[in-house]
Amino acid sequence: MIRNPILPGFNPDPSICRVGEDYYIATSTFEWYPGVQIHHSRDLVNWRLVRRPLERKAQLDMRGNPDSCGIWAPCLSHADGQFWLVYTDVKRYDGNFKDAHNYIVTAPSIAADWSDPVYVNSSGFDPSLFHDDDGRKWFVNMQWNHRTESYGGSPKSPAFDGILLQEWDPATKRLVGPIRNIFAGSPLGLVEGPHLFKRNGWYYLTTAEGGTGYDHAVTMARSRSIAGPYEMHPAMHLITSKDHPEAVLQRAGHGQYVETPEGEAYHTHLCGRPLAPQRRCTLGRETALQKCVWRDDWLYLADGGTVPSVEVPAPTDAARQDPPERIDYRFDQPVLPEDFQWLRTPEPERIFSLTEQPGVLRLHGRESIGSWFEQALVARRQEDHRFRAETVLAFQPDTYQQVAGLTHYYNRHKFHALVVTLHERLGRVVTIFSCPGDFPHGRMSFPVESGEAVPDGALELAADIRDNDLQFFWRAKGEEAWRPIGPVLDAGVISDEGGRGEHGSFTGAFIGMLAFDTSGRAKPADFARFVYQRLD
């Protein structure tokens, strides 16, 4: 059986591609670097991260990109003996405008170095490339209309001004021919996330609608001509939980169709798993996969209706391989463990090193936590509602402007951090910085005020997250007992819905290590290990 979500934690906007017996899913990474996650499977049951292809400055530089901008909705395809990856780099989110630039990169294999990007257009986001059976290629994306009141926290339907289609010429690497608006969407509105495919002489268009919150949906339409007109699916929406608040998988929408070699039909979609009582999705938007069937040249969920299922039949009898309960990361290799990413910058050598001090991850204190430019924060996704994280920190600050520690992080106005710094009266201290959703100002609170004085030497820091609750701990290295510090904090605010609320942001929670030095002296902080452990 396939158990959903197949990609837990922040893995939204799944684009799926099959090449022979191999399946690949590309997902959005927003402001996290390197850009785009690609997972691989041979059975649709078990998935493994194999590549983040946008990994150098020529391909991607997100310094200055606001929170929840950066890489939106990649589309992965295979044609002409190579892989094609289409993506948007969004440079502005708030207000009437979305400065959204669309690019194409290619590679002979997933593992190869991907090409420098070719610029395509900026008329809207969520681009997709369709390879027709006559050899022609078609580029689609939603069109953004800035002339309406379409602010980030409350999107208005008229801003989502239909799906544009134009031919892509790979020889000249540019769009050619007329621009056509082929689909205005359903009455649900907010049409985006287009994907085209062809079957039995029909062109099928699936789109995401309703916004990426609780009204989200996959909408389907078809036409005998790629340019339309497109008729709507008899049920209008192929996948949605919008009218079923009891469903386990909420926010269901934005996905892509795929067939097995035997012709079995599946469709990916993003989803969220809200926690009671406030229905906040602390794991962000995750990737799920649904079994489908064809009737009268229309696609339907195999289980009937439109509500996605947690368990669906797999094309093989492959057994699900659960991830380890505990991962003890060591920093004894010259590259980061693959689960970790950092924020925005294509120059990671300025924020961390794995070779300056053997056996540790050294972070160079740069700009403050929440900076949109050069922030030394290295973290991995939260993949469980209940987990514990631990790290060992060697750090000797000589001013309160130098700070390092462990953080549960979403963005500049949603984070908690257990940090080591210097206090002019207490000396070296461990304390808590918290920003529990203060939008737009990002003002911090200090739950233990100046903090607790700590002895010299390395310190161990820990965080227990149990659903909506977070408790920090610390101990001197070598001590047996952990010391709780501060009150139980609101872990649920580290979510899409926290703070600004639904549609205000849409990435996911990370847990990791940070350092900053606002004196500008780049004080180093050394982290000897990092533990991520699922809790019952």
Task: Report phi then psi at 159, rounded to 5.
Answer: -70, -25
Burial class (CB in 10 A: 0-12, 13-18, 19+), 424: exposed
Structure tokens at 473: 């701990």
- Beta strands (DSSP E) in 260-366 are 265-272, 286-295, 298-301, 311-312, 326-330, 340-343, 352-353, 361-364
Alpha-carbon distance of 114 to 54, in angstroms, equals 8
Alpha-carbon distance of 109 to 82, in angstroms, equals 7
* Upper half-sphere CA count for residue 188 (Cβ side, 13 Å): 26
Is 61:69 a contact under the CB 8 Å cutoff? no
Catalytic, 374? Answer yes
Burial class (CB in 10 A: 0-12, 13-18, 19+), 455: exposed
Coil, strand, or helix at residue 384? coil
Is 67:77 a contact under the CB 8 Å cutoff? no
Rg (CA), the chain: 23
| Sign (positive or negative) of CA dihedral 97, 168, 60, 195 | positive
Q: How far is CA 170 from the centre of its chain?
A: 29
Instruction: Provide the residue count of the chain.
Output: 536
At position 446, the amino acid (one-letter code) is F
Structure tokens at 101: 């630039």
Structure tokens at 453: 């004085």
Structure tokens at 396: 């000797």
Which DSSP category does 155 fall into? -
Alpha-carbon distance of 276 to 254, in angstroms, equals 24
CA-CA distances (angstroms) from residue 322 to 22, 40, 314, 481?
Answer: 20, 16, 16, 31
Set 55, 167, 264, 374: catalytic member: 374
Report, as residue numbers or ranges, the catalytic residues: 374
